[in-house]
Structure 1
Amino acid sequence: MPSFANHTSLRYLYLDNNNFSSIPSGFLQGLTNLQVLYLSENHNIAPWTIPTELTQATSLLRFYASDTNIFGSLPDFFGSFPNLTDLGLAYNNLSGTLPQSFGGSRIRKLRLERQKNGLSGTIDVLSSMTQLSQVWLFENEFIGPIPDLSNCTSLFDLQLSDNQFTGLIPDSLMSIATLRNVSLDNNELQGPHPQFPSSVTNHTLGTNSFCKSTPGPCDDQVTTLLEIAAAFGYPSKLAKSWTGNNACVGWTSIICDSQGNIITINFAKQQFVGTISPAFAKLTSLRNLFLGDNKLTGSIPDALTNITRLQVLDVSNNNLSGLLPKFGDSVNLTTTGNPLIGMNSTSSSGNKAGMGSSGASVLPGMIAGIVIAVIIFVVVVFFISIKCYMSLVEPFASLYDDFLSLSTATGRVTTKADVYAFGVILMQLITGRKAVDDTLPDDNPHLVTWFCGILKNKESIAKAIDQTINPDEETMESIYTVAELAGHCTTPKPYQRPDIRYVVNILSPLVGQWKPTCHKLDHKFPTFHGVEDIYDSDQDMSLPQDLRSWQTM
């Protein structure tokens, strides 16, 4: 294929149905006025990826490159074309998920069917592609439920067959007035058989997991189990087994009594994600519920305490949180392996509730509080004897070693020069990163340079916080204050850095009541100007009182 680079006047390029064997590098470079590009049916082209220089064609309206040996993932720039209406990349070897940049785009015709290895993930992004009129995604590996497409008011052709869709067909799909063609066969769709209006002239629904072969409601227990599965994202392994309208016949993980009532549900060790549905409470005969060894989050619903016959509830080894509901003495509750369970996840105070057998735990909010406390502790190091606090320093030895190493150049801790080292420590505490961190971008591995670059807005700071911290709004304001202070402390020009007294004045309002346990000592510190400050510490004073006394020197 010839190169068309830098043909800035080129608007229409039709190269489909040829026998090209390769695509030259940069062949779309500089095509700033390109509006239509057709490359389809060149199946002898050597494997290639969609080049980033295509983004220079900001006026692009239609791009078709089906059956051209494209591989890799869909680039995340198609949503940036303000006028793109047609995107056809079928019969290729694309993989991965639909890019989120599709959302809000003006794409009307989307054809990505029959990828060799199959596109995967959910198709939730379609719900925000409101201009869609035709969607062909058949013969891929998409999963999850079909999203609400009611905002796609021009949709007339929806082809989703031969994937792995699960869950219920949304009622909103049947209410799209423009819809004419629907293909949903060969999936794992569940729930009631849909009944499309007569305006849908062509629809195929064969080979799914509907509860019945004709329209109408499912059995009550079946409906409840599907509600429960919805909280797990409708796992495929359940959809494959849960067929028919009787949950007591062949449904995996379900055990019933002789009257056809569900008495045991065993979802242990299934790698399920999501939350525990309160719909379990609708199964009034349930005795045993095993949910251990999954990846469930959220809290245990209070509604489960209403299951009067419940005897065993095992939620061990998940990632549950929140206060434990008050179950009766007859319930054997197992919650081990959930570090955050038994604590109020909406409060940073860490008030305990019933812990079951899970033992004590620490909330992310408490972790944030510890970070603030450690910051204040480092301030104390500046003006209280190091030996006095050795027993307290041990848990933070690595940070303390960093502080000493950064102070080696001067051989002392001063109220001005070594404030830079303190700023670095603040950055480490907030981000959980090292001063020189090889996980940072290759061109910017130094924590200080990288950190100062994210101080432009609060959103960037929030994203940079150590992932073990999940602070509430009040704690976030403290962290924003500390982050701004860290940037001030590490200003490149030493004369622009604050004095350590200023640092203490900023941080002291953040500290709670705390008293040092050491003997009364006089502390001397060389200042930036070579004059020593003398401070007398009293072990009967709280830390805020100690700080106020020192601030008045």
Structure 2
Amino acid sequence: MKNFHLGPRVRLRLLYLHCLIAGFVHSVHSQSSSTDASVMQALKKAINPPSSLGWTDPDPCNWGQVQCSTDKRVTRIQLGHLGLKGTLPATLNNLTALQVLEFQSNVLTGPLPSLSGLSSLQSLLLSNNQFLSIPPDFFTGMSSLVDVYLDYNQFSPWTVPDNLRTATLLATFSANSANITGSIPDLFGGDTFQSLTALHLAFNNLEGGLPASFSGSSIQSLWLNGQNGKKLNGSIGVLQNMTSLSEVWLHMNSFSGPLPDFSGLTQLQNLSLRDNQLTGPVPGSLIGLTSLVVVNLTNNLLQGPTPKFGASVQLDMSPNTNSFCKSNPGVACDSHVNALLSIAQSVGYPKSFAEDWKGNDPCPQWLGITCSSGNITVVNFQKMGLMGTISPNFSSITSLQRLILANNNLTGNIPDVLTSLVNLRELDVSNNQIYGKIPLFRTNVIVKTDGNVNIGKDGPPPATPSGNTPGGSGNGTEVSRSDGKKSSTGVVVGSVVGGLCAVFCAGLLGFCLYRAKHKRSGRVQSPHAMVIHPHHSGSDHDGVKITIAGSSANGGARSETYSHGSSGPSDLHIVEAGNMVISIQVLKTVTNNFSQDNILGRGGFGTVYKGELHDGTKIAVKRMESGVMSEKGLEEFKSEIAVLTKVRHRHLVALLGYCLDGNERLLVYEYMPQGTLSRYLFDWKDEGLRPLEWAKRLTIALDVARGVEYLHGLAQQSFIHRDLKPSNILLGDDMRAKVADFGLVRLAPEGKVSVVTKLAGTFGYLAPEYAVTGRVTTKIDVFSFGVILMELITGRRALDETQQEDSVHLVPWFRRMHINKDTFRKAIDPMIDLDEEVLASISTIAELAGHCCAREPYQRPDMSHAVNVLSSLAELWKPSEPDPDDMYGIDLDMSLPQAVKKWQALEGISGLDLSSSSILGSGDNTQTSIPTRPSGFADSFTSADGR
């Protein structure tokens, strides 16, 4: 390396420059300290401090209650509790080195000066004065602010300014009785102030609800009590996600609705909810909270049994100030009361019910209830402004004869379980927002559905620019089951046209697929194979077609099709897109006669084998246990076929074929070479695998979320998986995930509405309400998904008996570990390489997991929310080009008209011009095995949102 020598002139110039810089710095410091002295003299003149402070020295750094830095900059002014009078000078914000400013408990008045630009200020105490106003730019630039106290001042009305957002280190913001107006700002959430532990805004003029941004915040002490006019209202459900809370004061407001799940608030000691309008029962998660010291529930509309708290809890709950069924704590309510409360839950425990429904006997005069001989015979809730869904729990009132729910804002389906009401004579749901099929009631039940424009449809259509419902009609139906066939003209015409469209398109699709399959496939049908072809959801009946294929003299196949509600044979069985019949002989051959060496895994109803067809296609064959001919086994088999032939999605394992042969029942799936997610999460070391890095875990979570989202809402009907877990999540060579094992799936007959069903699933992943009551909604899958997210974060199983007793169950352990950053970091799988970016991503997913595992179903998000959260973190997926030689000739990214055109080109079909066909136009509603997408979702899976 060369040595560079500076000449004497250069060295002299550098020395001169150094002197200039040093002189400039000294000058700046001198000017700054001089400015500080000038400001302090102005302050002295404005507040006239007592002589005891010794503010006579020319240097303010020698004054009492004032501290300076070594370079004579003022850093602290601490003048609290001195009875000072006067105003504060406008030049205070020139004290740019100031760190602490205390004027609390004086008699200062006038407007507060702007303190903008005080970037070093950490502590600001101005409480208990008589300041008259606070400027809008007051907090601008206070990036070091930690504690703010503005309580008990006579400010003119003001709102918390958004410029406070720069104070990211804020730990305490206290402004009780400070005349704050408007809504609670979103900026007080955990995303902005991750260190905020105390938010005290009591006795102001706040209005509106608790912000959703509170969820996941670190707030420990929350005071919002006593707002003027009681304009703080709405739900307090967000509290369940504020797991750091120890003190909550929400009394003397207008909060309403049910109490949330408190099971995650393990540090909560003081809860004051008195003088609100809260309804519904007191949850056991609050009663059993061991940390509780003080609880105040007086003057609400709480229902159900009077809660019995522990002896150590100081309880303020005056008698007869709520709507409990009995006054004795812990005594259960009458069964009729319990039934009506469970019904009220589906409509959010309305205030009108809670105000009127008092006591332990609904029969004397409860609102909307009519009884005969002590039994409820009429429920009349018409014109009550109810919002929510029709509760399936009406079915528990077996004496019910008339159910009137007309003229409300109810959504969802009419629960099928209502057909079990043997005494029911009339059901009136007119003028609501009900959709879905009308269940088949007995012939003597009058069902009124007028004014539900989407009745008979799978779900509410998306809004159009004109605000009208596409294809909708203002005419509902009034069905008298005595004739069994009456319906409105619109429904009949729609059904006929829809059926004709479905038959036409199905026939065309089938012809194309039939020819394409026979060109490429060498598979043969078993001489005695029975194949079940379920109707698509667009068909008139939901019967199951049984096609018995056998050999004939000319080597062809004879087929007999039996369909519930059909009067004769049909050829539709040959047009089921994607269905293939594979003979038992072929399946025995490719699985080496179902050899033990070919076993991939075992499920509740059988064993899965690996196989490879003669053309190289690898398959997974699910073989039901031989000889299992019970109704349960047959229904299980039909269920898998019915679901999988209707559902096609890149993140759901595809059904390739199926067969019944004697006692053998087999389903053939696509093969997923990397096996289950369980292998990579829990068994990677034993199997010599590499542990999953966080980016792959995030992608897998997103894949699963998209698959389940499709099942819940994007498919032609809503399905519920019921057994979502890592062993039912399969991975391809590209480590992309697909949801598998639909053996426990049931078509949700009421969409997303709760239904009662046999218990299925795996402990550790079961939602509480499902495990206890057997009631099923899509939210049980959301709970299971939340558990999977926790497993992806921790690398621990949902139920791990090798752990200590208090750590066996993952969900409660995860909630405890997530309380603070230190314990949470220890909970993360040590195989994940952590940096700040990864930790931030994991923290977001941990919060999502907590929401998904909320105790109450209505407090859990939909899967679409999970997709949105995950897709914002994961790299958007750009799928590869579709395989031109795919087994079915189906590109699932194509619309139906595009697919037909492609098949026309492949097959040389020119006799039909479908490009302008009204049947296959852009507004086509034909139901096929190619899933349609609702408005608002991308037309193609390759769009930017990655769906």
**TM-score normalised by length of structure 2:** 0.39
- State whether structure 2 residue 460 is matched by structure 1 residue 218: no
CA contact (8 A) 2:435 2:460 kept: no
Match of 1:17 in 2: 128
- State whether structure 2 residue 498 is matched by structure 1 residue 126: no
- State whether structure 2 residue 339 is matched by structure 1 residue 97: no
Q: 1:289 to 1:474 in 2, by over 3 A?
A: closer
Q: CA deviation at 1:45?
A: 1.1
Match of 1:512 in 2: 897
CA contact (8 A) 1:515 1:541 kept: no
**Equivalent AA in structure 2 for residue 151 of structure 1:** G
CA contact (8 A) 1:183 1:205 kept: no
- State whether structure 2 residue 404 is matched by structure 1 residue 32: no
Q: Give SS of 1:214's match.
A: coil
CA contact (8 A) 1:513 1:544 kept: no
- State whether structure 2 residue 290 is matched by structure 1 residue 177: yes
Q: 1:190 to 1:10 in 2, by over 3 A?
A: same
Q: Give SS of 1:226's match.
A: helix
Q: 1:181 to 1:509 in 2, by over 3 A?
A: closer
Q: Give SS of 2:393's match.
A: helix
- State whether structure 2 residue 195 is matched by structure 1 residue 83: yes
Distance 2:348 2:392 in 1: 15
Q: CA deviation at 1:98?
A: 0.5
Distance 2:895 2:440 in 1: 36
Match of 1:187 in 2: 300
Encode CA deviations 1:288-322: one digit per residue, 9 max, x unaligned.
11001111111111111111110110011111112
Match of 2:581 in 1: none
Q: Give SS of 2:132's match.
A: coil
Encode CA deviations 1:460-480: one digit per residue, 9 max, x unaligned.
xxxxxxxxxx982599xxxxx
**Equivalent AA in structure 2 for residue 183 of structure 1:** N
Distance 1:358 1:295 in 2: 22
Match of 1:274 in 2: 388
Encode CA deviations 1:367-402: one digit per residue, 9 max, x unaligned.
xx9xxx9xxxxxxxxxxxxxxxxxxxxxxxxxxxxx
- Give the one of 317, 338, 356 matched to 1:241: 356
CA contact (8 A) 2:897 2:914 kept: no
- State whether structure 2 residue 444 is matched by structure 1 residue 313: no
Q: Give SS of 1:210's match.
A: coil
**Equivalent AA in structure 1 for residue 381 of structure 2:** F
Q: CA deviation at 1:357?
A: 4.2
Distance 1:47 1:286 in 2: 55
Q: CA deviation at 1:249?
A: 1.5
Q: Give SS of 2:186's match.
A: coil
**Equivalent AA in structure 1 for residue 377 of structure 2:** I
Match of 1:138 in 2: 251
Q: CA deviation at 1:347?
A: 12
Match of 1:541 in 2: 913
Distance 2:163 2:488 in 1: 55
CA contact (8 A) 1:337 1:358 kept: no
- Give the one of 198, 202, 208 matched to 2:315: 202
Q: 1:301 to 1:32 in 2, by over 3 A?
A: same
Q: 1:509 to 1:318 in 2, by over 3 A?
A: same
Q: List runs of 5+ in structure 2 lacking aligned partners.
A: 1-111, 463-470, 472-476, 506-711, 718-890, 902-909, 918-947
Encode CA deviations 1:102-149: one digit per residue, 9 max, x unaligned.
000000000000001320110000000000000000011101001011
CA contact (8 A) 1:145 1:166 kept: yes
- State whether structure 2 residue 453 is matched by structure 1 residue 326: no
**Equivalent AA in structure 1 for residue 402 of structure 2:** N
Q: 1:359 to 1:107 in 2, by over 3 A?
A: farther
Q: Give SS of 1:55's match.
A: helix
Q: CA deviation at 1:203?
A: 3.1
Larger-gyration structure (1/2): 2
Q: Give SS of 2:412's match.
A: coil
Encode CA deviations 1:491-531: one digit per residue, 9 max, x unaligned.
xxxxxxxxxxxxxxx99942439999xxxxxxxxxxxxxxx
Q: 1:321 to 1:355 in 2, by over 3 A?
A: farther
- Which sits farther off after the overlay, 198-207 or 130-139? 198-207
**Equivalent AA in structure 2 for residue 33 of structure 1:** S
Q: CA deviation at 1:540?
A: 4.3
Q: 1:28 to 1:256 in 2, by over 3 A?
A: same
Equivalence map 1:471-510=2 (5 Å): 472=714, 509-510=894-895
Distance 2:364 2:345 in 1: 21
**Equivalent AA in structure 2 for residue 472 of structure 1:** L
Q: Percent of pairs identical after alignment? A: 45
Q: 1:244 to 1:358 in 2, by over 3 A?
A: farther
Distance 2:296 2:912 in 1: 78
CA contact (8 A) 1:146 1:167 kept: yes
Distance 2:207 2:225 in 1: 12
Encode CA deviations 1:33-87: one digit per residue, 9 max, x unaligned.
0000000011x21010000011111100000001010000011111120100000
Q: Give SS of 2:280's match.
A: strand
Match of 1:254 in 2: 369
Match of 1:62 in 2: 172
Q: 1:303 to 1:359 in 2, by over 3 A?
A: farther
Q: Give SS of 1:285's match.
A: coil
Q: 1:273 to 1:152 in 2, by over 3 A?
A: same
CA contact (8 A) 1:336 1:358 kept: no
Q: Give SS of 2:228's match.
A: coil
Distance 2:206 2:489 in 1: 48
**Equivalent AA in structure 2 for residue 287 of structure 1:** Q
Q: Give SS of 1:77's match.
A: helix
CA contact (8 A) 1:219 1:246 kept: yes
CA contact (8 A) 1:512 1:544 kept: no
Q: CA deviation at 1:32?
A: 0.4
- Give the one of 26, 45, 48 matched to 2:155: 45
Distance 1:355 1:11 in 2: 76
Q: CA deviation at 1:360?
A: 4.0
CA contact (8 A) 1:64 1:87 kept: yes
Distance 1:229 1:97 in 2: 22
Distance 1:302 1:77 in 2: 45
CA contact (8 A) 1:2 1:24 kept: yes
**Equivalent AA in structure 1 for residue 168 of structure 2:** T
Distance 1:251 1:286 in 2: 15
Q: CA deviation at 1:12?
A: 0.3
Q: 1:314 to 1:359 in 2, by over 3 A?
A: farther
- Give the one of 217, 223, 231 matched to 2:346: 231
Q: 1:317 to 1:474 in 2, by over 3 A?
A: closer
Encode CA deviations 1:428-482: one digit per residue, 9 max, x unaligned.
xxxxxxxxxxxxxxxxxxxxxxxxxxxxxxxxxxxxxxxxxx982599xxxxxxx
Distance 2:716 2:442 in 1: 36
Encode CA deviations 1:146-173: one digit per residue, 9 max, x unaligned.
1011100000000000000000100110
CA contact (8 A) 1:76 1:100 kept: yes
**TM-score normalised by length of structure 1:** 0.66
Q: Give SS of 1:255's match.
A: strand
Q: 1:20 to 1:278 in 2, by over 3 A?
A: same
Q: RMSD over aligned Cα, in angstroms?
A: 3.3
Q: Give SS of 1:172's match.
A: helix
CA contact (8 A) 1:336 1:357 kept: no
**Equivalent AA in structure 2 for residue 141 of structure 1:** S
